[in-house]
Amino acid sequence: MTNAANTPIENQIEQLPMSLQIEAARKLAGTTKTQPQMQGITSRWLLKLLPWVETVGGSYQVNRRLTYTVGDGRISFSNVGTQVQVIPQELTEIPLLRGFEDVEVLNALARQFVQREFAAGDVIIQEGRAADQVVLIAHGRVNKISPGKYDEPVVLTVLADGDHFGDYALVESQDTWDVTLVALTRCTILFLPQTAFQNLVNQSEALQAQVDQFRVKLRQPKNQEGEADIRISADHFPEAVLPGTFADYELNPREYELSVAQTILQVNTRVADLYNEPMNQTEEQLRLTIEGLRERQEYEMVNNRDFGLLHNADLKQRIFTRSGPPTPDDLDELISIVWKEPSFFLAHPRTIAAFGRQCNHLGLYPDPIPMGNSAIPAWRGIPIYPCNKIPVTKERTSSIMLMRVGATNQGVIGLHKTNIPDQYQPSLSVRFMGINEKAVISYLVSVYYSTAVLVPDALGILEDIEIGL
């Protein structure tokens, strides 16, 4: 082992540093810095793509034509072990019982349901058999099948958890079923026999009045969308008497109130005073806070139970996949219910990947749509934008939304209010709240927003999609 004492003097001179070392230089030089980065920032396509409508007075009223059809609803259940029961108040989601408030009668109805289990492939309802019961699907997926023109069975739709069938047979003169229900998966089904329902009708004047009122609604003239009919004459004889008519309106139109997301940004005065170079600390704190608020805004616009799109879609505009994963056939079915100038799909990135796998399996390679320096996946020329705010359940299922947007198209719109006090961005304000005794500056950051679906067929949802790994 050698040391400096045994090393020749000329070699020692060569080992001495000839310039300032990098480690030392860093002590005196600043580094090239980025702005503070935030992994939670996403593309937020929903906020970019929705047309925004100025909302004066903090609320937006959606007026529609009067409709005589009562919208179907999904029914919830409770269970103790393997025994499943319908929640009595949930029976009012059936069109026949919508608005019915007699709790005793609802409890009595709920007790009359009989539970049965079916395996995949079992026939639940057979076409041609007596139509004498109401069917509630507590769990599982069911094919609704009708005979085709050439005797080949045709799948009309897929029913799933919370759906119901057969309630119209209780009040209409229908002797036999005109469709067949076949279990796609293992199913738990609740049945209400017509005799049990009729016995309760005979015992309850309130229920009898409810049934009579429903029959009147069924007889009202209406178009295929369920709206009050506008009587029009065409191809009539000269000087024929023309029908008189008018377009009736809903008496209680829905009003969408602007929602708000808020937070209080706190900045220490010492940080704001001394550490503002090369970047303004207050501005950077505010920028990241606003990014977080905008992310929360998009989340609420998708998931809020009052105005979020996932919960505001009409029940008739919700469909299920035929096999589990999202296939091209399923997206075609979704287009068929939002067929009037559909604007775009919205799906979780993992759902888009699952759809891509199905296309690959079938040998299909849809043309993407150029978007800046990249490309957006598309189907039938309709772009599929990613949105990680659409939830993925623990069972690895999710949803795809398809919407038509714009007020002139009677579509989906975003609601906001601009020119608010202390506005920092459209519909977003930053208000100075003062400095406390600990020398901390506070700013109230608020953003106001909501969404509205102007007519039901502007928004469709493909639900319970299996996205796999």
**Domain CATH for 160:** 2.60.120.10
Residue 139 placed within a domain: yes
Residue scoring higher pLDDT (64 or 172): 64
Rounded to the nearest 5°, which phi and psi values hold at 235?
Answer: 55, 40
Residue 34 placed within a domain: no
Containing domain of residue 373, as a range?
45-57+256-466
Give the sign of the dihedral formed by CA 324, CA 326, CA 328, CA 333: positive
CA nearest 345: which of 387, 310, 375? 387
Q: pTM for this one?
A: 0.75
Averaged over 84-108, what is the pLDDT? 88
Same domain, residue pair 411 and 308: yes
Number of domains in the chain: 2
Q: Whole-angstrom Cα distance, residue 245 to residue 231?
A: 6
Range with the poorest average pLDDT among 63-77, 159-173, 204-218: 63-77
Averaged over 406-421, what is the pLDDT? 95
Residue scoring higher pLDDT (318 or 22): 318
Same domain, residue pair 298 and 429: yes
Same domain, residue pair 170 and 315: no
For residue 147, the model assigns a pLDDT of 85
Averaged over 204-220, what is the pLDDT? 83
- pLDDT of residue 70 exceeding 50, the answer is no
Confidence grade of residue 178 (pLDDT, cut at 50, 70, 90):
confident
Residue 244 placed within a domain: no
For residue 68, the model assigns a pLDDT of 45
Residue 406 placed within a domain: yes
Question: What share of the chain in percent tops pLDDT 70?
Answer: 84
Same domain, residue pair 141 and 263: no
Residue 98 placed within a domain: yes
Averaged over 244-251, what is the pLDDT? 63
- Is the preceding peptide bond at 278 cis, omega within 30 degrees of 0? yes
Give the sign of the dihedral formed by CA 464, CA 119, CA 157, CA 254: negative
Amino acid at 153: P
- pLDDT of residue 69 exceeding 80, the answer is no
Tokens of 387: 């949105």
Confidence grade of residue 372 (pLDDT, cut at 50, 70, 90):
confident
- pLDDT of residue 439 exceeding 80, the answer is yes
Q: Is the Cβ–Cβ distance between 306 and 450 less than 8 Å?
A: no
For residue 236, the model assigns a pLDDT of 64
For residue 31, the model assigns a pLDDT of 67
Confidence grade of residue 297 (pLDDT, cut at 50, 70, 90):
very high
Q: Is the Cβ–Cβ distance between 259 and 450 less than 8 Å?
A: yes
Mean pLDDT of the chain: 86
Q: Is the Cβ–Cβ distance between 24 and 391 less than 8 Å?
A: no
Averaged over 236-265, what is the pLDDT? 78
- pLDDT of residue 343 exceeding 80, the answer is yes
Same domain, residue pair 201 and 307: no
